[in-house]
Amino acid sequence: MMPGMNTEACDPAELAALREIFASRPDAAPPAGWEAVRAFEAEHGVELPEPYRTFVAEVCDGLRAGPPHYGLLPLAETPSDWGAGRPERLLAEPFPLTAAWLWEEDEEADEDEAAFEARTAAVFDHGSLLLGTDGCGMYWHLIVTGPQRGHVWQIAGEGAMPFGPESPDALMPGTPGFAGWAAHWVQGRDWFPDA
């Protein structure tokens, strides 16, 4: 967890902001409820980070309008383009990264193909919950286990990078965490302002 982020207790101001963003939208899915959230957590051996945990239980469990571009997924769902035959997602396994990794530009990524695929598979499938997709293989993940718990990351075929300025590379500046990510989206701001 990064300094300043509280992933254990839901900040009332963050929850109020999330309610304002999502609850009044006509295509917002009803909240999942606490029973469904606790069942999901028990099944996967994790406790979801706040404020996402309370948001899904009390405010909204998905929104077709986004964020991201193709909608905020309901708890436990994967995007339609995620693909069949993928390995089981292991949410209780720690997310392996603490800083951006653009493997497309990484000279070490020229290791043997099996080792490289094992390293990237862990990035896609360990310690994160899928929030949705912007299409073209660009997926947004909420990290649920490991040092980046509570942060939102974009993971794509080119690499993985955190959203928020507290990362050392700040490729996607904004307020870190689920509430900051949602606020960034509702303000219509670009994810990559210098692109």
pLDDT in tens, 71-107: 999 998 999 888 888 888 999 999 999 988 888 776 6
pLDDT of residue 1: 38
Collapsed DSSP state (helix, strand, coil) of residue 36: helix
Report whether 152 contacts 140 (CB < 8 A): yes
Confidence of residue 118 (pLDDT cuts 50, 70, 90): confident
Q: Where are the alpha helices (DSSP H) in the chain?
A: 12-22, 34-44, 52-58, 113-125, 178-186
Residue 23 has pLDDT above 50, yes or no: yes
Structure tokens, 124:
């896609």
Count of CA atoms in the C-beta half-sphere (13 A) of 101: 16
Confidence of residue 43 (pLDDT cuts 50, 70, 90): very high
Q: pTM for this one?
A: 0.92
Mean pLDDT over all residues of the chain?
Answer: 89
Of residues 68, 126, 117, the one with CA closest to residue 97: 126
pLDDT of residue 88: 86
What distance in Å separates the CA atoms of residue 2 and residue 19, rounded to the nearest whole number? 24
Question: Among the ranges 1-10, 49-58, 154-163, which has the highest mean pLDDT value?
Answer: 49-58
Report the share of the chain in percent with pLDDT over 90: 65
Rg (CA), the chain: 16
